[in-house]
Amino acid sequence: MIKRKLFTRAHKTGLAPGTPVHIGEKNEEPVAVSVMEYDADGSSFRTELSLDELIALPLPSAVTWINVDGVHDVSTVTRICERFGIHSLVQEDIVNTDQRPKVDEYDGYLFVVLKMLRRQEMPPTPEGPTANSQRQAAVDQHLIEVEQVSLLILDRVVISFQEFAGDVFDPIRSRLRNGKGSIRRRGADYLGYCLLDAIVDQYYILLEQIETRIEPIEEVVVLDPSPEVVVQIQALKRDLLYLRRSLWPTREMVYRLSREESSMIGADTRLFLRDLYDHVIHVLEILEGLQELASGSMDIYLSSISNRMNSIMKVLTIISTIFIPLTFVAGIYGMNFVHMPELGWPWAYPATLGVMALTAAGMLRFFRSKRWI
Amino acid sequence: MIKRKLFTRAHKTGLAPGTPVHIGEKNEEPVAVSVMEYDADGSSFRTELSLDELIALPLPSAVTWINVDGVHDVSTVTRICERFGIHSLVQEDIVNTDQRPKVDEYDGYLFVVLKMLRRQEMPPTPEGPTANSQRQAAVDQHLIEVEQVSLLILDRVVISFQEFAGDVFDPIRSRLRNGKGSIRRRGADYLGYCLLDAIVDQYYILLEQIETRIEPIEEVVVLDPSPEVVVQIQALKRDLLYLRRSLWPTREMVYRLSREESSMIGADTRLFLRDLYDHVIHVLEILEGLQELASGSMDIYLSSISNRMNSIMKVLTIISTIFIPLTFVAGIYGMNFVHMPELGWPWAYPATLGVMALTAAGMLRFFRSKRWI
Amino acid sequence: MIKRKLFTRAHKTGLAPGTPVHIGEKNEEPVAVSVMEYDADGSSFRTELSLDELIALPLPSAVTWINVDGVHDVSTVTRICERFGIHSLVQEDIVNTDQRPKVDEYDGYLFVVLKMLRRQEMPPTPEGPTANSQRQAAVDQHLIEVEQVSLLILDRVVISFQEFAGDVFDPIRSRLRNGKGSIRRRGADYLGYCLLDAIVDQYYILLEQIETRIEPIEEVVVLDPSPEVVVQIQALKRDLLYLRRSLWPTREMVYRLSREESSMIGADTRLFLRDLYDHVIHVLEILEGLQELASGSMDIYLSSISNRMNSIMKVLTIISTIFIPLTFVAGIYGMNFVHMPELGWPWAYPATLGVMALTAAGMLRFFRSKRWI
Amino acid sequence: MIKRKLFTRAHKTGLAPGTPVHIGEKNEEPVAVSVMEYDADGSSFRTELSLDELIALPLPSAVTWINVDGVHDVSTVTRICERFGIHSLVQEDIVNTDQRPKVDEYDGYLFVVLKMLRRQEMPPTPEGPTANSQRQAAVDQHLIEVEQVSLLILDRVVISFQEFAGDVFDPIRSRLRNGKGSIRRRGADYLGYCLLDAIVDQYYILLEQIETRIEPIEEVVVLDPSPEVVVQIQALKRDLLYLRRSLWPTREMVYRLSREESSMIGADTRLFLRDLYDHVIHVLEILEGLQELASGSMDIYLSSISNRMNSIMKVLTIISTIFIPLTFVAGIYGMNFVHMPELGWPWAYPATLGVMALTAAGMLRFFRSKRWI
Amino acid sequence: MIKRKLFTRAHKTGLAPGTPVHIGEKNEEPVAVSVMEYDADGSSFRTELSLDELIALPLPSAVTWINVDGVHDVSTVTRICERFGIHSLVQEDIVNTDQRPKVDEYDGYLFVVLKMLRRQEMPPTPEGPTANSQRQAAVDQHLIEVEQVSLLILDRVVISFQEFAGDVFDPIRSRLRNGKGSIRRRGADYLGYCLLDAIVDQYYILLEQIETRIEPIEEVVVLDPSPEVVVQIQALKRDLLYLRRSLWPTREMVYRLSREESSMIGADTRLFLRDLYDHVIHVLEILEGLQELASGSMDIYLSSISNRMNSIMKVLTIISTIFIPLTFVAGIYGMNFVHMPELGWPWAYPATLGVMALTAAGMLRFFRSKRWI
């Protein structure tokens, strides 16, 4: 299940455009800023920087990656942005976590916003894993957290904004630290690409998880179609739609990054972005496959239901059409007329039973000819 | 519920093109014109201006915003338009409130027309809030008023036309008065953008309201599917379609404003319009999400109905197939044949009852094997 | 109901391309030609012109509008066309009234063909309005006549071709006569625009009429869903599809007229055509709204049917499941076994009745718990 | 019914591209070649030409039309093609009669391939028209033969390839012979256009025939919905889909011929091709109309079925709910309890009958209130 | 049935982009490399080449085709690619067999990836063809293997990568050996085209096989609609969707190869690629036809089900409505009232039977009038 909310914008109405107002879920933690500087020779990583220290940081000669956790603190975001001369509309978009994925090119920097998916980690339960918490865990296994990530790609600086600590960027951090791959030899644009790539990779994992949700549904719709399964299929469809709506503009965004001639993106990195574009297309196709599986499940469900109805009706009809005529015959000879000569005949009773048996047999043959039994 | 009407154009047929004829709902109030002049240093606001005074107003050196409430008064609209040299086709479009959102560029001015949504305010009930009026209020909470707004964006003048007093522009008026934000330092194109932005923001609010209408429907279709809920879903779908039809050309209109090279729009304002375009796209996506929720509700409804039918049929079939054969057996021994030796056997009655009980038990096992009970 | 036929082209197969052959419904009246000449100062109107007079008419210095009623007379059409140097393919298209709306530009003239809708006028019934004829009239109120209009727009001449006398151009004729509006001061292109505008305006009227047909259907599908209403909805859908198929190429045609650089259309008239284009788009949107109403009616119909089935099944099930077990009990004590001790007990009869009443009450509680009653 | 087959290509796999291998139905007749030469002054027509004579034919100064019946003879096709320097890929496409309609431009010639439809002629039955053969004929009336026609349009030569003798080109042959129309005064491109025009005209005839198949279906689905009619509708839909799939690329092909600047097509002929393009569009629209009729029939069918079910259930429910309670009452007084005081009352029997009648009347009123009867 | 799996990418997450990691099914065999060199004069074919020998191979003056079976061996792929200066992203795509068909142009080479379909060969069963293994074979006949083929087209070298030995290229190998066709006289681009052509040809064969799966389904849905057939139709639809998703990007890829100006593809080969493009389009259309057959089967299935239900209900209703009233009459005269004068009448019994017969006959006439029997 994807965890998401529609956030109300009512309190924002009437403000001047470009006024940053936080919209979205709020982190309880204080704002955390980390700074990573690197070049081909090495890297330095600093956390627990105060905002003032950050602002006072000299412009790097190498590449710097500033990561900000906690966009609900509008003033921090504003000050960092102003330090680098970011437009007020961009500031507004960073703190409003209800954005559509997009890329905007400004003079001297690119602004990229997209959705990061992450499997939600469970808080440790103090009393150990009870049966109850295990069941809970099985449900949570499907809980996917959606978070907005904003990237500012400047000449030698990349700034990433998110609300919650914990992200999918740890492999990149370790590559930066131990210098594996070519990442330290390349510029800020390549770092931006790496961050996007890490986020898109996560969609593959997620779709594999969702596929495991579809398989049991496909069995259930044949064996035991119930209204609950329709609700489940609808929930699944909604999740897929949500992902699709998030991926579709991501596709467009990556396409524009990889094809349009922006001076911020080197020809080399463009090649990697073209590859990333192929990935996004591929994810979209897997997604469409899953959507068709879900629709197919609904079709199978509906035909299961009508088959079930069919077989119920068959039983009712077979029993009724056999016994109702027989009961009528029994009713005839239960009448109390004085003048009913048959009643006195010695073989009347067994003959009546025989006629009844023959009628029933005839009915059964008729049903067999209709392939009902 | 969106309040709207199809207006008849029958009385307009046969007139020369460009003849302004009012089409739409009519305001009872007299025409009201307000004029706001402002520059970076201050602003002046004048209402209750006579038409002649307005016409005689000198062309401003700063920015002037003229707002006209009451487009049913064709002659007023015509005179104001002629004062500023507006084409007769534009005059016709202003008074015809059944327009499609669009932007037309003319020599020296832009003509923008779109739909403003507004939650309808209740007239105060004199006898105080009774239970009845409260229920009424709960219904009206969903009543949304649609009104056409026409904007003329000239070099240093913005003229806005609407039919009813009361609009979503009050926050802009107060920003102009107290000089918050950069609005007073910018030109008429920015004011035009602000008016559009205020109208589009209102769509967010509206969609949140509509979402609250969908939630109870989703519950009802599972618990108590009735034909009334189908009518409700259809009404909802129709409202969403109406909004979509209003938003789709709005999207195109904002796109053209933000991308096409019109000399009326400064490069700076174009940046804000690009942002507005993102908003419109976002609203459209929320809308599509709601449309899919509504369609999904319809699917759940249909499957609820067939499940309900299924369970009704199951009960009927179980009762019938158990008792019809038993009744037949009872009928057999109710026959009045003289020669029925079983009737005289001492254990015949309890044996018959026993056979009946076994038959019933067999039937129940069969139903259990079919998962019907 | 739209009156239309598919005309057979079988007799045309095998002829050389460009051979004019009349295809379509045939007027009984003789061909009627009218000529209107006008300039800013005045206008002259002549009917009952013989073909030879028409051909001999000098080329006007002002604007001339020639209207021909009766395209089934191929020779007349041919001679008029040849007088003005019209291509044989155009001649073929004029007499074939089964054309798709389109505009073709030729050297020196534009050829426009589209569908004119008109409410059919009833022939006067000699015996006065009887009850029967009134009912007839109520039906005919919905009868819409579709006729093809071909326009040739030359430099200073407009020629319009139609089959039947009576059209939607009378307001234009009177504007030409009394000089209202700017029509007499403008050229042949503006006259062509006016004719198109008059035809498109008629679509609004027609759609309002169709809407009045949908409203009673919407009620009927809820209250009394019958197969007849499905046939009605299908007929409505077919009419709307027909209109859509006629309007869609009209839209394209007007678009090409308003945007493409044809030397036949002045920049001034192009502005009016842009406005006409907005009208056509608007008509198309109203049409799509009506199509969705019709589809929605079908959905409501289907769900009404299944609800009705549901309630029928409920009644059957309630009655059956209450009385079938009771009848079985009665059957038990109707058996004629000699040894049935209960039969002799004094309170057996009222006790049996009591058990039956309790069973029935239990069943009713069960049904209430299932929300069936 | 359209007669068509999917031809297996299995025997072709693995051959070098450009190897001509015949795929398709095979004519039993020997290959027949006819040659028609013409210019403005006259025409000569030769059949029964040997292949060697054909190859040795001098290049004409006027226009020559070579028609080949029997593309299964690969060597003939190859030799003719090589005579005119046709590319091996084109040769392969000519003998493979399972092509998609298309136009390919090569250096010095155009290659056009499309599907010719023709009503299949019945072989004469020797024993005269019996009742049986007449019924057969009525069925065959709907049998439509689909054949692939390939056209090579060179500078002064048109070569047409088909498999079966008999085509829709006879009117063109007679126009060439008796010099009607302008065909003899025009070039090879115009002849090519005439052949295409004759083929497209045939689609109109065919669609009229198909329409006659839809009308009885529309009646049947209301009056007597049976599974057979669904199979018929599906067959109809399949035919329409087949035609659509054949027409859609034909549309594109004619569009490219009429718009693209190919030196093979004169400006004059291009005008005629533009007209042909309008025809193809028109045929496609008629086709879409028929498709919607077919879909509508399916909808009416489904609603007829559920209405029928509804009325069956109503009858069952009315009969059951009236008689089941009455039978229960009769069962009560059929019990054999010794102590049933009512049995001895003198008016008990008529009173019971009266109660039964009242119950039945009450039921009937209930059904009437529900609008079931 | 198409054999395919979703491969997990989980182990790949977090690696640097361009790191080749094998994703997909794994061949058990060792990697096999074959090299074929050819020019117009002859060809040489070498297998069992060690990797070092391959790397040391001099750059050919003629055309060389290197085929690699076993892409799971990442190091081999890497070394070969590095020998020819292939980009690391391409290396990554070659070993990841879960790619979307595409063409990427790099400096000096084209990278083409697509899906090869192949009927899976059965391993020989040692105990001979038993009845059981034959049945197995009939099932396997439908098992289609999907394998990814990557092609690198360099100036005079083509390198093809696949996982499993055995492919559809044997006819090309023999053409190369015996010099049939023009293949030896043409360059590496033509060889690339031949490989693509062989793969696309295979789709025709496959679709013919799938068609044989649809035909029995179409019969079954009419004769014996069961839920199993729905599952089969869904499986079929899924296969078709899979093929469509594989073919759609193949179409785009071939289009780009045939139209875009890449210096790697000669004008001559481009003509063949245009032909291949027509083939792909044709395959796609056959595929769409099959998809519509499958959808149509589902429609027929659903209507079969409801017809079946209808006929079941008819039988139940006929039997019930005939016998329930008759049973009631019998019940009346089974009552034990003391005062029932009819019971003593001599003709009462036959008269009652007569009334019953008349009632039944009336019912039957009613049913006939309703066309139920």
pLDDT digits (tens, 9 = 90+) for B200-237: 988 888 888 788 778 788 778 877 787 778 888 888 88
Cβ-based contacts under 8 A for chains A and B: 162
Residue of chain E whose alpha carbon sits nearest to that of A331: E330
Q: Could you tell me if D138 lies within 8 Å of chain E, comparing CB atoms? A: no
Q: Do B89 and C275 touch (CB under 8 A)?
A: yes
Q: Which residue has the higher pLDDT, B221 or D343?
A: D343
**The predicted structure's pLDDT at residue D100:** 86
**The predicted structure's pLDDT at residue E120:** 64
- Provide ipTM, 2 decimals: 0.73
Residue E22 has pLDDT above 50, yes or no: yes
Q: Which chains touch C (3 or more CB pairs under 8 A)?
A: B, D
The torsion region of residue E66 among left (phi > 0), alpha (psi -120 to 50) and beta comes to beta
SS3 letters across chain B = CEECCCCCCHHHCCCCCCCCCCECCCCCCCCEEEEEEEECCEEEEECCCCHHHHHHCCCCCCEEEEEEECCCCHHHHHHHHHHCCCCHHHHHHHHECCCCCEEEEECCEEEEEEEEEEECCCCCCCCCCCHHHHHHHHHHCCCEEEEEEEEEECCCEEEEEECCCCCCCHHHHHHHHHCCCCHHHCCHHHHHHHHHHHHHHHHHHHHHHHHHHHHHHHHHHHHCCCHHHHHHHHHHHHHHHHHHHHHHHHHHHHHHHHHCCCCCCCHHHHHHHHHHHHHHHHHHHHHHHHHHHHHHHHHHHHHHHHHHHHHHHHHHHHHHHHHHHHHHHHHHCCCCCCCCHHHHCCCHHHHHHHHHHHHHHHHHHHHHHCCCC
Distance, in angstroms, between E312 CA and closest chain A CA?
Answer: 7
The upper half-sphere exposure of residue C27, i.e. CA atoms within 13 Å in the direction of its Cβ, equals: 20
Q: Do A337 and E330 touch (CB under 8 A)?
A: no
Residue E232 has pLDDT above 70, yes or no: yes
Q: Do E319 and A316 touch (CB under 8 A)?
A: no
**The predicted structure's pLDDT at residue C138:** 37
Residue of chain A whose alpha carbon sits nearest to that of E360: A325
Helices (runs of H) and strands (runs of E) counted in chain D: 9, 8
CB-closest option in C194, C316, C336 to B316: C316
Q: In chain E, which residues have their Cβ closer than 8 Å to the Cβ of D241?
A: 289, 292
Q: Could you tell me if D309 lies within 8 Å of chain C, comparing CB atoms? A: yes
CB-closest option in E89, E98, E311 to A275: E89
CB-closest option in D175, D300, D334 to C16: D175
Best of A90, A94, A150, A230 to disrupt the B interface by mutation (most B CBs within 10 Å)?
Answer: A230
> Distance of alpha carbon E328 from its chain centroid, rounded?
61
**The predicted structure's pLDDT at residue A360:** 94
Residue C167 has pLDDT above 70, yes or no: yes
User: Which residues of chain E from 260 to 299 reach within 8 Å of chain D, CB to CB?
Assistant: 271-272, 274-276, 278, 281-282, 285-286, 288-289, 292-293, 296, 299
Q: Do B346 and C339 touch (CB under 8 A)?
A: yes
Mean pLDDT of the region C313-327: 91
According to DSSP, the β-strands at A32-39 and A63-69 are antiparallel
Report d(CA B314, CA B323) in Å as an integer: 14
Sorted by where each starts, the structural domains of chain D and their CATH numbers stand as: 2-304 (3.30.460.20), 313-369 (1.20.58.340)
CB-closest option in A100, A305, A315 to B281: A100
Q: Do B102 and C278 touch (CB under 8 A)?
A: yes
Q: In chain B, which residues have their Cβ closer than 8 Å to the Cβ of A102?
A: 278
**The predicted structure's pLDDT at residue D1:** 60
Predicted model pTM:
0.79
Report d(CA B72, CA B22) in Å as an integer: 5
Distance, in angstroms, between C216 CA and closest chain B CA?
Answer: 15
Residue B246 has pLDDT above 70, yes or no: yes
Helix axes D267-332, C267-332, angle to 10 degrees: 20
**The predicted structure's pLDDT at residue C13:** 64
Q: What percent of chain D has pLDDT over 90?
A: 29
Q: Could you tell me if C316 lies within 8 Å of chain B, comparing CB atoms? A: yes
Average pLDDT value for chain B? 83
Report d(CA E271, CA C318) in Å as an integer: 75
**The predicted structure's pLDDT at residue A223:** 77
Q: Do E296 and D100 touch (CB under 8 A)?
A: no
According to DSSP, the β-strands at D63-69 and E42-46 are unpaired
Q: For residue range B44-90, what is the model confidence (pLDDT) as tens digits?
A: 888 877 888 888 888 767 899 999 988 888 888 999 999 999 998 89
**The predicted structure's pLDDT at residue A304:** 85
Report residues of chain A scoring pLDDT below 70: 1-14, 60, 120-142
Give backbone dihedrals phi and psi of D78, rounded to 5 degrees, phi first. Answer: -60, -45
CB-closest option in B227, B320, B335 to C303: B227
Q: Could you tell me if E234 lies within 8 Å of chain A, comparing CB atoms? A: yes
Average pLDDT value for chain E? 83
Residue of chain A whose alpha carbon sits nearest to that of E235: A296
Q: Would you place residue C130 in the very low, low, confident or very high pLDDT band (cuts 50, 70, 90)?
A: very low
Report whether C43 contacts C36 (CB < 8 A): yes
Best of D148, D243, D349 to disrupt the E interface by mutation (most E CBs within 10 Å)?
Answer: D349
**The predicted structure's pLDDT at residue A62:** 84
Q: For residue range E321-340, what is the model confidence (pLDDT) as tens digits?
A: 999 999 999 999 999 999 89
**The predicted structure's pLDDT at residue D356:** 94
Distance, in angstroms, between A272 CA and closest chain B CA?
Answer: 27
Mean pLDDT of the region E146-168: 89
Residue E356 has pLDDT above 90, yes or no: yes
**The predicted structure's pLDDT at residue A13:** 64
Q: Would you place residue E218 in the very low, low, confident or very high pLDDT band (cuts 50, 70, 90)?
A: confident
Cβ-based contacts under 8 A for chains C and D: 161
Residue B183 has pLDDT above 80, yes or no: yes
Distance, in angstroms, between B344 CA and closest chain C CA?
Answer: 5
Mean pLDDT of the region D67-78: 89
CB-closest option in A226, A234, A323 to B296: A234
In three-state secondary structure terms, D154 is coil
Residue E125 has pLDDT above 50, yes or no: no
**The predicted structure's pLDDT at residue C139:** 38
Distance, in angstroms, between E331 CA and closest chain A CA?
Answer: 6
CB-closest option in B211, B275, B331 to A6: B211
Q: Could you tell me if D331 lies within 8 Å of chain E, comparing CB atoms? A: yes
Q: In chain D, which residues have their Cβ closer than 8 Å to the Cβ of C344?
A: 338
Q: In chain A, which residues have their Cβ closer than 8 Å to the Cβ of B340?
A: 349
E338 token code pair = 């003391």
Q: In chain B, which residues have their Cβ closer than 8 Å to the Cβ of A6?
A: 208, 211, 286
> Distance of alpha carbon A340 from its chain centroid, rounded?
77
Report d(CA B203, CA E246) in Å as an integer: 41
Q: For residue range C249-289, what is the model confidence (pLDDT) as tens digits?
A: 999 999 989 887 778 888 889 989 998 999 999 899 889 88
Mean pLDDT of the region C6-24: 69
Q: Which residue has the higher pLDDT, B234 or C192?
A: C192
Q: Could you tell me if D245 lies within 8 Å of chain E, comparing CB atoms? A: yes
**The predicted structure's pLDDT at residue D130:** 45
Q: For residue range A327-361, what is the model confidence (pLDDT) as tens digits?
A: 999 999 999 999 898 898 999 999 999 999 999 99
Mean pLDDT of the region B238-251: 88
Give backbone dihedrals phi and psi of B157, rounded to 5 degrees, phi first. Answer: -130, 140
Q: Could you tell me if C357 lies within 8 Å of chain D, comparing CB atoms? A: no
Q: Do B234 and C299 touch (CB under 8 A)?
A: yes
Q: In chain D, which residues have their Cβ closer than 8 Å to the Cβ of C89?
A: 271-272, 275
Q: Do B286 and A10 touch (CB under 8 A)?
A: no
Q: For residue range C29-74, what is the model confidence (pLDDT) as tens digits?
A: 788 889 999 988 888 888 877 888 888 888 767 899 999 988 888 8
User: Which residues of chain B from 8 to 27 reach within 8 Å of chain C, CB to CB?
Assistant: 8-10, 12-19
Report whether D268 contacts D186 (CB < 8 A): yes
**The predicted structure's pLDDT at residue D293:** 85
**The predicted structure's pLDDT at residue E135:** 36
Q: In chain B, which residues have their Cβ closer than 8 Å to the Cβ of A92?
A: 275
CB-closest option in B12, B18, B333 to C337: B333
Q: What percent of chain E has pLDDT over 90?
A: 29
